[in-house]
Amino acid sequence: MTHTTASSHIPLPADVTGPHTSRLGLVAVIATFGGLLFGYDTGVINGALEPMKADLGLSPAIEGFVVSILIFGAAIGALIGGRLSDKYGRRHNILMLAVIFIVGTLGCVFSPNWQTLAVFRFVLGLAVGGASATVPIYLAEVSPYERRGSLVTRNEVMIVSGQFAAFVINAAIFNIWGESDAVWRYMLAVAVLPAIALLFGMLRMPESPRWLSAQERDEEALAVLKQIRSPERAAAEMAEVRMLAEAENGAQTGGWTELTTPWIRRLILVGIGLGIFQQLTGINSIMYYGTQLLQDAGFSGQGAILANTCNGLFSVLGVWVGISLMNRIDRRVMLLGGFTLTTTFHLLVGLSAMLLPDMALKPYVILSMVIGFVFSMQGTIGPLVWLLLAEIFPLRIRSFAMGVCVFMLWIANAVVAFAFPPVVEALGIPPTFFIFAVLGVFALIFIATMVPETRGKTLEECEDEFRRRYADDRGGLVVASGQPS
């Protein structure tokens, strides 16, 4: 079997603007409705929980079960969704997920009891996890390498926008129908609208050209590329994709058997580490329990609810800043800078809570540090991890590997979600955030020694480089430099 080399890649014409640019933009908008649903369905429970508890008579244990079962569903959905996406196609998978979003949402809205609600929350989790594993890959595979960073991270924009929208819509619905026992049902029902938009929108969107090529459907792949590239660029990219496919003829394809290949095993371990460390920043402890944290910091109940909206707002703003920098700064540099900032803000939150005297200003100081953490996290680590997971894996196992890594990401999410409230109650705010800071130091070591660079390279160039660099690796660390060796 022959391998391509960096020098054998066909030079690609510039990514010029034209009608294909608008088509690509539309593809990105429609696909990222999956991210919007991801964000809304994970954020809506924040405001819906109290009226839901009253209406269905939830005990604290059942409340925790109903909330957390979506996370476990998402972990399973990511694992299964990755395999289905590799087998049947990215577009096919997103269409199926749109149907599951609709069924899960309507099932939750019309649930007569908590048992039924839990079942459909789990179904929603399957869709959330499947979307988290499929949409970034679809965006990466339809994007030109020059714009891949900004296009893939639009999904992260939609995720945090969905969470922020859930906070705002919950507040608006509660102000209008707050006296109704069914108010939580109205909050959940809103999610069916973007799910329908995703379903009908994806019916008109193309399949991933790289997946089509992997299925030896080169004519269809070229036709898709001609929709979203200039004619010259489409032909050149297609030639490069074909070269890589030929190099992989006779290779193992599929899933777990790929772990016997050292360089692929290394990349999957890197992906798992990225997903876990993203969650160990504690970002979702703020998104799930931000109001509780701010009350512990000294805000009144109503003041904490209002202050918590700042976390949602700065989460969105942070992602937009990240997108503006994504194609200008190397991935590794941004990750190292991001973990440095989040670790610093963890220390500042802990020190502020521990050293400042109890006074009117104290909760606002802590709030400002938490906002700084959220902004730094969502401007760097949040979108970059999703982007790297969509970039680093070879085509033949891209969705499978993404599913494995996102499965571990969701498990880490669940661990943080479960552990945060009792740890804060047992230890207090300062030690909790000092723990996050220590984990941040480990993350910095991991990024510096293990994570490769992908900016400015096509997906095929990334795959070719990783194969050449790590093919003979037998257990040593990836070189710290992100540049080709």
CB atoms within 10 A of CB 158: 26
Query: 164 and 277 in one domain?
Result: no
pTM of the model: 0.77
CB atoms within 10 A of CB 449: 12
Query: 132 and 66 in one domain?
Result: yes
What would the pLDDT profile of 247-288 be if each residue is shown by its tens digit? 555 444 556 766 677 788 888 999 999 999 999 998 877 876
Burial status of residue 154 (CB atoms within 10 A of its CB: 0-12, 13-18, 19 or more): buried
CA–CA separation, 39 vs 316, rounded Å? 11
CA–CA separation, 92 vs 46, rounded Å? 31
**DSSP line for 108-167:** HHT-SSHHHHHHHHHHHHHHHHHHHHHHHHHHHHHS-GGGHHHHHTHHHHHHHHHHHHHH
Does 84 map to a domain?
Answer: yes
What's the pLDDT at 423? 83
Structure tokens at 78: 């990511």
CB 141 within 8 A of CB 238: no
What would the pLDDT profile of 463-475 be if each residue is shown by its tens digit? 777 777 766 544 4
What would the pLDDT profile of 217-254 be if each residue is shown by its tens digit? 999 999 999 999 999 999 998 988 777 666 555 444 55
Does 160 map to a domain?
Answer: yes
Does 5 map to a domain?
Answer: no
CA–CA separation, 430 vs 292, rounded Å? 15
Does 227 map to a domain?
Answer: no
Query: 170 and 38 in one domain?
Result: yes
Give the domain extent around 414.
Answer: 257-479
Does 418 map to a domain?
Answer: yes
- Taking the chain (485 residues) in runs of 10, the rounded mean pLDDT of each run is 42 84 94 94 80 86 81 91 88 97 97 96 95 92 86 88 87 82 93 96 95 90 94 89 64 60 84 94 79 78 74 89 86 94 95 88 91 94 88 80 88 83 84 94 95 81 76 45 36
What's the pLDDT at 249? 53
Query: 199 and 261 in one domain?
Result: no
CA–CA separation, 176 vs 453, rounded Å? 50
For residue 383, give the CATH number of its domain. Answer: 1.20.1250.20
Query: 329 and 468 in one domain?
Result: yes
The number of domains in the chain is 2
Query: 134 and 43 in one domain?
Result: yes
Does 77 map to a domain?
Answer: yes
CA–CA separation, 47 vs 388, rounded Å? 32
Structure tokens at 156: 């992260």
Give, as one character, the DSSP assignment of residue 420: H
Query: 281 and 425 in one domain?
Result: yes
CA–CA separation, 23 vs 17, rounded Å? 11
Query: 189 and 267 in one domain?
Result: no
Q: Following CA atoms 369, 389, 407, 349 in sequence, which dihedral angle do they give, to the nearest 10 degrees?
A: -10
Compute the radius of gyration of the chain from its Cα atoms: 22
Query: 286 and 152 in one domain?
Result: no
Domain boundary among the residues 177, 205, 233 is at 205
**DSSP line for 278-327:** HHTTTHHHHHHHHHHHHHHHT--HHHHHHHHHHHHHHHHHHHHHHHHHHT
Does 221 map to a domain?
Answer: no
Domain boundary among the residues 170, 205, 240 is at 205
Query: 261 and 191 in one domain?
Result: no
Q: What angle do CA 247, 248, 251 make, to 5 degrees?
A: 140
Query: 378 and 456 in one domain?
Result: yes
What's the pLDDT at 253? 52
Does 7 map to a domain?
Answer: no
What would the pLDDT profile of 339-357 be if each residue is shown by its tens digit? 999 999 999 999 998 998 8
Domain boundary among the residues 186, 205, 224 is at 205
Query: 154 and 87 in one domain?
Result: yes
